[in-house]
Amino acid sequence: SDVEKLSSDVTNFNSRASAGSFSSQAAFNSERAALVGRSDSLNQTKQTIEQLIATYNADKQKFDATNTHLSSLTTSIDSSLATTPQVQ
């Protein structure tokens, strides 16, 4: 997944940084900025998904409430459930 790939790339980056493997501060900064950008993008995607899930859950609650109300209304007008009083 993208998260696993980023995690692996960050681990690799940190190992190379600890070993002093970057040829310059600019190379270090450039690669770090790219990793931060990927991380920010994944976090934004996560937030979008969480918002969509929250919207879905709210819509599902409304749908379930409507179905419960509909069932109640259907039951209240179902003439087969109780005898109808006789008009005299």
d(C-alpha 32, C-alpha 10), whole Å: 9
- Whether this prediction's pTM lies above 0.85 is answered by no
Crossing angle of helices 25-77 and 2-18, in 10° steps, is 160
d(C-alpha 67, C-alpha 75), whole Å: 12
Helices (H) and strands (E) in the chain, counts: 2, 0
The per-residue pLDDT for range 18-27, each reduced to its tens digit, is 999 999 999 9
Determine phi and psi for 72, rounding to 5 degrees. Answer: -65, -45
How much of the chain, in percent, has pLDDT values that exceed 70? Answer: 91
Question: Mean pLDDT throughout 17-41?
Answer: 96
d(C-alpha 34, C-alpha 68), whole Å: 51
If you average pLDDT over every residue of the chain, what do you get?
92
Radius of gyration of the chain (CA): 30
